[in-house]
Amino acid sequence: MNMNGELVVTQDWKYTNSPTVKTLAMDWNGINVSGPTATTTVRSNYRISIKNLNSLSSQSIFGNTTFGLAAGDPNGFANTANDVVIDHRCRWSANVLGESITLLGYSIWYYPGSN
C-alpha cells in the first residue's frame, strides 16, 4: 500500500440459524479488527476499511459496527511497505452438534489514494 492507500475487505458468511452465538472475525497483522456476532440469521456480509494515514505504518481501521464513530479512531500499526497478514476467523460460544459456519468468499479491493 502507498502512504494514503486503502484496502476494503468484504466477507460473505453463511451459518446455522440458532441461538448459539457465532463470532465472525478478521485480524489485521495479528490484531483483531472486526468481530461481529450472529445468532438467528443465516447469512452476513461485512465490510472492513483499512486506510494508511499518510504513512506506511499507521492506519485508520473501520469495520462492521464501527463505521461512523462519534469519537475515537480505531488504529492499526502494520508496516504496509511489507506483506501484512489478513486472517478470517470464526468461533462458537458453545460446541453444538450439526451447526456450521462457512466463509463463502471474500474480496479485497485496493484504492491507491494520492501520494
Strands 22-28 and 31-34: antiparallel
Q: Between residues 5 and 76, which one has the greater pLDDT? A: 5
pLDDT at 75: 72
Residues 6+ apart with CB under 8 A from 7: 1, 49, 50, 51, 108, 109, 110, 111
Q: What is the mean pLDDT of residues 63-75?
A: 58
> Hey, which bits of 16-100 come out as E strands?
22-28, 31-34, 37-38, 43-52, 59-63, 75-76, 86-92
Q: Is the pLDDT of residue 73 over 90?
A: no
pLDDT band at 12 (very low <50, low <70, confident <90, very high): very high
